[in-house]
């Protein structure tokens, strides 16, 4: 499995690396692991939906 850093994922997803770090620490990115100070994210992970908007929230 290939892992990408938050900086590399920010280019793919179009959001800042800081925001990706926050999503990782909140547990919203599945499969993310922390190695030292760096978050490693599986390359095939799907960008989580924005929870601020009702139309984006998943049905629970």
CA nearest neighbour of 5 among 36, 41, 35: 41
The answer to whether 49 and 57 are in contact (CB under 8 A) is: yes
Tally of domains in the chain: 1
* pLDDT above 80 for 8: yes
Band of residue 60 on the pLDDT scale cut at 50, 70, 90: low
52 occurs within a structural domain: no
E-strand ranges in 1-60 read 3-5, 33-35, 38-42
* Structural domain includes residue 59: no
Query: Is 51 within a domain?
Result: no
Q: Which two tokens stand for residue 48?
A: 């989580």
Predicted local distance difference test score (pLDDT) of residue 25 = 95
Gap between the terminal Cα atoms of the chain = 29
18 domain-assigned: yes
Q: The pTM is what?
A: 0.81
Which domain, by its residues, includes 11? 3-44
Q: Residue 59 has what pLDDT?
A: 59
In the chain, where does DSSP find H-type helix? 6-13, 17-25
Give pLDDT tens digits for 12-59. Answer: 999 999 999 999 999 999 999 999 999 999 999 999 987 777 766 665
Residue 55 lies in a domain: no
């Amino acid at each position: 499995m290939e892992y990408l850093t938050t900086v590399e994922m920010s280019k793919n997803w179009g959001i800042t690396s800081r925001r990706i770090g926050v999503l990782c620490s909140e547990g919203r990115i599945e499969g993310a692991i922390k190695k030292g100070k760096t978050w490693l994210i599986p390359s095939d992970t799907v960008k989580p939906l924005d929870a601020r908007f009702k139309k984006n929230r998943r049905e629970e």
